Amino acid sequence: MAKKCGISTLLLFGVYALVMYVYIFHSNSGGIPVPLKGTVVDPHVFMSERELYLSEEYSKIKNFLYFVATPFEWIVYLFILITGLSQVFEKWTTVKKQWVFLQNALYLFLLSLFIFIVLFPLDYYRYSLSKNYGISTQTFNSWMRDNVIDFWVDFGTTVVIVTVLYWLINRNPKKWWLTASLLMIPFSIFIMFIQPVLIDPLYNDFYPLANKELETKILTLAEQTNIPAEHVYEVNMGEKTNALNAYVTGIGSNSRIVLWDTTLNRLSESEILFVMAHEMGHYVEKHIYFGITKSIITTLLGLWLTAKLMLWFIARFKHILKIKQINAIHSLPLFFLITSFLLFASSPLSNYISRYLEVRADEYAIELVEDPSAAVSTFQELTKAGLNEVNPPLLVKWFRYSHPTTLERIINVTNEIESKELEGR
């Protein structure tokens, strides 16, 4: 029965991958509407022929990888269950009952290591692809170092979460999801608080912005928007990527304004000020609290659905999945599989909300710096640096774009200009 289930899953995955390949590589979705050709939104206007070719090719490959990689991870989790490997990991890590934290840590280490090894070729291909297309500038040693840090940071936080989670499941197998959801609120806020000072510096070096004149202008904007910032930080991302970014991170006394050095080197001062005004827009409009609220709601619904689905799958397929009971640690791959699926399925809604907030931040930035031309050129430069599509296919936009497309962002700017002109008449 388990073998039949495995073969059926692989066949289904093959059909799905073929459908996505045809959709991404051979459909006519996306592209620039005819009335907008030759305008500032047309990539033929602001990108070279080589950039256009690389953008189209690179975007198709990375989008296809996204749509097949996540279901492939589900197959890995399913493989761990139906082969009994999860039970084997549990037996290998059996310790005295009072040392449950140690057992969970040992089990999770074996599970994480196995998944890391299985998915490593796919991760390495993504890295190689990004490097071949000129997005990544990172050496293999540096990339591996980041992967190892990722492994241990994820491992440490997951051990804590899983230990608490299974303790709650043991205490109340039917209502554990509610208490777990409530406990995730302070835990998430704590992670947001320590990330800028403890986690982020593990990957990169942060230091005060060297350009003090630019820092003064950024802090003046921050003062206008009541952001409690005394310094602007830059981070040495040029060692790893040619992409551009800036952000306001952290909460409370640990909040930071951060600029990538690639952004500083590639964008003009007016473009940098627009980018920073956009990030400040998120702060002023309390988008961090929108994010926290969304996280609370999605966690509550997600864990509730996960609890229901785990009980249903175990009741119906426990012999195939080789799960004896929900409170056994070897059921963890099923938990990961279901939560991963729910996150994937809910990403269109999550991205829709995120895109709305990004539009609001764009509108705030345009009002604050009063330089629409800087906004347009910024969006063009971001597109060129990341080899992004100006108007991606609909499914790609739904599942992948947490920001509006370049087409939408530039149209929003031009609409804003036109409305201002009408008001002035």
Average pLDDT for the chain:
87
Catalytic residue among 234, 261, 271, 279: 279
φ, ψ of residue 273 to 5 degrees: the values are: -65, -35
pLDDT confidence band for 86 (50 / 70 / 90): very high
DSSP string covering 74-106: HHHHHHHHHTTHHHHHHHHT---GGGHHHHHHH
For the chain, the farthest-separated pair of C-alpha atoms sits apart, in whole angstroms, at: 80
Domain-wise residue ranges, the chain: 2-203+286-424
CB atoms within 10 A of CB 316: 10
pLDDT at 342 over 70: yes
Backbone angles phi and psi of 55, in degrees to 5: -60, -50
**Which tokens hold the place of 200?**
């982020």
Q: Where is the binding site, in residues? A: 278, 282, 358
424 has a pLDDT exceeding 60? no
How many other C-beta atoms can be found within 10 angstroms of the C-beta atom of residue 297? 11
Q: Cα–Cα–Cα angle for 91, 97, 98, nearest 5°?
A: 140
Asked whether residue 128 carries a pLDDT value surpassing 90, the answer given is: yes
Whether 364 and 285 have beta carbons less than 8 Å apart is answered as yes
In the predicted structure, residue 125 carries a pLDDT above the cut 90 = yes
The predicted structure's pLDDT at residue 70: 93
Alpha carbon distance 272, 375 (integer Å): 10
Residue type, 422: L
- Following CA atoms 401, 406, 409, 415 in sequence, which dihedral angle do they give, to the nearest 10 degrees? -140
Instruction: Look at residue 423 and tell me whether its pLDDT is greater than 70.
Output: no
Reported residue count of the chain is 425
Is 123 catalytic? The answer is no
C-alpha distances in angstroms, 310 versus 24, 105, 175, 401, 417? 33, 22, 13, 30, 52
Please tell me the distance from the alpha carbon of residue 118 to that of residue 73, in angstroms, as a whole number: 9
- The answer to whether 362 is a known catalytic residue is yes
How confident is the model at residue 98, as a pLDDT?
A: 65
Please give the residue that has the higher pLDDT: either 409 or 33. Answer: 409
pLDDT-derived band of residue 418, with 50, 70 and 90 as boundaries?
Answer: low
By the 8 A CB rule, do 45 and 2 touch? no
- pTM confidence score: 0.89
> What digits encode the pLDDT tens for the residues 154-213?
999 999 999 999 999 988 887 899 999 888 888 888 887 788 778 888 888 888 888 888
Terminal CA-CA length for the chain: 74
Element (H, E) at 44: helix 43-46
The least confident of 11-25, 205-219, 250-264, 272-286 is 250-264
- Name the active-site residue from 73, 362, 381, 389: 362
| Mean pLDDT confidence for 8-26 | 91
Binding site for Zn(2+), by residue number, is 278, 282, 358
The tokens for 149 are 């840090």
